Structure 1
């Protein structure tokens, strides 16, 4: 791996977005960081104090001309993000100044950092583990407030602590099983079978709890998918326009106006919501309408919430009950056109509203917020990463198999083999067992300067 061969280099990169701006920050990291910066920052004192900022002018080494007026912040080895001696240069923004500083730094012996190399060095130097390194990217890429909070919790080690708890149970169980084998001829038992079963069961339960949070993590990280469904001409498009406060969908009294899906992104209390208006579900032989209906059914299957909309002025209209895998809490039955029918007692709906007047729209927002509140319930850790999910599935499979063997009083060697596979999967998530290709894939998704 190229990174491992070059991790003794002193690196630099622009840590803020390039382009026009009031300020930019340039990072330098490596054992020669201070030595290099002193060539153009003669104002620095002999003894630098970590985490202290120093004001002055960077000057060209040859001409002594001022390059820029800057503030330098020094971080000593072991106390910086990367774990190495580091300098952050706060300079004026814009392409010219930043590129001039970077050119001078390169001429003095630094090189431009690879994508994610600062975070990679933090991982290699033991400042953070691999899930924390991945959380850095999750924080940067978060599309919702809730997703950013979850990623920050992972960055602070919440997710890693849950994994280490599973690891502890596995280490305890494996060590006792192996000791029981080693001393079997002396009839010494370091732990009973029931004690080991309890430990493996706890590891399995904790693993399954984490796996169950994956969908929650996806919703809070990327947003909620809400599909508006129902027969033609019940007001789905009008409700979409009300919820989004835009006139994006065509509204017409002619049934079947919406033949394709219409997607609008909105935000509710810092959470991203993708509203999808779909074609009315009905029997048709018209080819284009049939394609719209098929697409609507696919969107319903992929939805986090379905708004099942019907017209309260048409009491004979069939209310679709969605006999799918969707749980009851994921479907909100909406009775539209309530301003035209005041006899609500004879109607069935979770919410009555009028897309025309706006009555009931706020109540619908509150219903959607309840779903987010369920996802936001405090948990020790939430899965945000597909790599973690796949490895935890592997952990679950081998733990389940090992537990079955234990309860069946099978040879401990077979049990150990299964538990070791679970143990290795946990180590792989934490980054204590990895191959270079995996690391390359993870860190290549980062931007320069991170």
Structure 2
């Protein structure tokens, strides 16, 4: 455990509030704070204790009444000596305290520097450190659970165990190179094969979970498409329970893309209302229709909405064929169910030969659609069970690179490749596993990762 130079930053959100917390960490954090503090001698207080007093300027002018909490190394977030100063949330007070700390030799922290020190001091691995930022940014139940799973170890502990076993085998394979002329085999090939298969079995669910993880982290891009006057804007307003989009009987009212967010069962949906799909009557509407098609290409889920009272069977079949050809997951939604009878609904169901969700956007009868949207996402087992899910592109890249290297090593093993070629592929796998969890890492990569964190974390 290393105590680095003392750093300080505001740990709570910037802006005026009732309370603000300033965090100080590093060598001398307690004694430096004690020089500004009027109250108990902080240097004599045990860890995890809070003390009321005042902070003063160099000329002994009162800055604020504060509550100072002492955390002694290694029992702190950074495993260094840490002090947290709770003061009133005035921007002036915060700046006064930070100025006093810098006058005493404390440096202002860089983004993510507290978490970076926690990682460097072995508090957790790199995957867990990145989960701290994900936990702070979590804005849904699913993203919150995914971040917590990673923070508690997620998949990294399992991969570290497998990596260590692979290191032991690589050492034996490379030892064979020293006895190349004697034709000896230190690394039992069947045991090595079994270990590589075990690693791939651990990797594949994680690699496959990335698409679901991306949805959890960034939300489900859900595009509402259909002909003009199908009720797309009315549906968007009903889902959001507010007048977000202009509703009119005039076809082509929506000329541009309208976006907003909706949370259903803890999952974030990014709803996108689009211009009606038809032959445009003017240049502006044509741009809107083109943007609709672009949004469909980027969507994770398409909601095709049609007017159940007005659409012709051939029109509906043509629309379904077009959306099916795009390869995008979609929901087929019939609107204005209050204006048609069961026979008409059944007729259209038979035409497309698939389930149609019937709603009335105008009358707010949309509960079945909400259930269907949630069910589409929750069919992924990782989302349902809260098991480890990959939400970070960096993790995904290292996992796929590791799997590729292991696959090459297995193919080489089957082909009877020499130990030097086998060791080369295994070393690549070890490199990527090490960079994933932070066992092997460079300062540049660390700076890049933690620079994305908020200051004070």
CA distance in 1, matches of 2:88, 2:50: 16
Deviation at 1:108, TM superposition (A): 2.1
Secondary structure of residue in 1 paired with 2:4: coil
Q: Contact (CA 8 Å) 1:166, 1:206: kept in 2 or not?
A: no
| Superposed counterparts of 1:43-192, under 5 Å | 43-45=39-41, 47-60=44-57, 62-63=59-60, 65-182=61-178, 189-192=185-188
Alpha-carbon displacement from aligned partner over 1:56-97 (angstroms, at most 9, x marks no partner): 23344543x433222111111111111111111111220222
Give the 3-state SS of the residue equivalent to 2:17 in structure 1. Answer: coil
1:332 match? 331
1:444 aligns with one of 423, 443, 451: 451
User: d(CA) in 1 for partners of 2:302 and 2:226?
Assistant: 10
C-alpha distance in 1 between matches for 2:283 and 2:172: 67
Unaligned segments of structure 1, at least 5 residues? 1-5
Q: Is the counterpart of residue 193 in structure 1 residue 189 in structure 2?
A: yes
- Shift of the 368–200 alpha-carbon distance from structure 1 to 2, 3 Å rule, reads same
Q: Does 1:416 align with 2:423?
A: yes
* Equivalence for 1:373: 378
> Shift of residue 38 of structure 1?
2.1
Of 100-109 and 170-179, more deviation after overlay is shown by: 170-179
Paired residue for 1:318? 316
2: CA distance, partners of 1:149 / 1:31:
35
Call closer, same or farther: CA 1:142–1:117 in 2, change over 3 Å: same
What CA distance in whole angstroms lies between the structure 2 residues aligned with 1:435 and 1:403? 29
User: Larger deviation: 275-284 or 109-118?
Assistant: 275-284
Once residues 3 and 27 of structure 2 are traced to their aligned partners in structure 1, the CA distance between those partners, rounded to angstroms, is: 10
Whole-Å separation in 2 of the counterparts to 1:80 and 1:352: 56
Find the counterpart in structure 2 of residue 218 from structure 1. 214
| Deviations 1:370-423, CA, capped at 9 Å, x for gaps | 134334222542112122122222212222222211122222221211111111
Question: In structure 1, how many angstroms separate the alpha carbons of the residues matched to 2:407 and 2:429?
Answer: 10
- Tell me if the contact between 1:169 and 1:203 (Cα under 8 Å) persists in the aligned partners: no
Q: Return the TM-score normalized by structure 2.
A: 0.89
On the 8 A contact 1:142/1:222 being kept in 2, the answer is no
Query: For residues 173 and 301 of structure 1, what CA distance do their matches in structure 2 show?
Result: 46
Give 1:427 shift.
0.7
3-state SS of paired residue (1:318): helix
Query: Does residue 268 of structure 2 align to residue 272 of structure 1?
Result: yes
Report the 3-state secondary structure (helix = DSSP H, G, I; strand = E; otherwise coil) of the residue aligned with 1:445.
Answer: coil
Return the offset for 1:183: 5.6
Residue matched to 1:3? none
Aligned-partner SS, 2:324? coil
For residues 324-346 of structure 1, give each alpha carbon's deviation from its aligned partner in whole angstroms, at most 9, with x where no partner exists.
4636xx32111111111112222
C-alpha contact (below 8 Å) 2:145/2:386 kept by paired residues: no
Equivalent-residue separation in structure 2 for 1:8 and 1:356 (angstroms): 62
Is the contact made by 2:21 and 2:87 (CA closer than 8 Å) also made in structure 1? yes
For the residues of structure 1 that align with 2:158 and 2:212, how far apart are their CA atoms? Answer: 17
* 1:363 pairs with 2:368: yes
Over 3 Å counting, the alpha-carbon distance change for 1:238 and 1:60 in structure 2 is: closer
- Residue deviations 1:107-150 (CA, integer Å, cap 9, x gap): 22222222222112112111122222212222222232321221
* 1:353 aligned partner: 359
Measured in 2, the distance between the counterparts of 1:373 and 1:391 equals: 26
C-alpha distance in structure 2 between counterparts of 1:213 and 1:447, whole Å: 27
Distance, in Å, in 2 between the alignment partners of 1:32 and 1:88 is 14
Residue 302 of structure 1 aligns with which residue?
A: 298
Query: Residue 33 of structure 2 aligns with which residue?
Result: 37
Distance 2:403 2:163 in 1: 13
Q: Distance in 2 between matches of 1:280 and 1:100?
A: 57
State how many pairs are aligned.
441
Q: CA deviation at 1:48?
A: 1.8
What is the distance in 2 between the residues matched to 1:243 and 1:83? 47
Q: Name whichever of 305-314 and 246-255 sits farther off.
A: 246-255
Superposed displacement of residue 362, structure 1: 0.7
Cα distance in 2, alignment partners of residues 89 and 381 from structure 1: 36
> 3-state DSSP class of the match of 1:377?
helix
Return 5+ residue gaps in structure 2 as ranges: 350-354
Answer whether contact 1:173 1:200 (CA < 8 A) is retained: no
Question: Distance in 2 between the 1:402 and 1:188 partners?
Answer: 19
Q: Distance in 1 between matches of 2:3 and 2:211?
A: 37
Instruction: Give the aligned partner of residue 258 of structure 2.
Output: 262
RMSD of aligned residue pairs (Cα, Å): 2.4
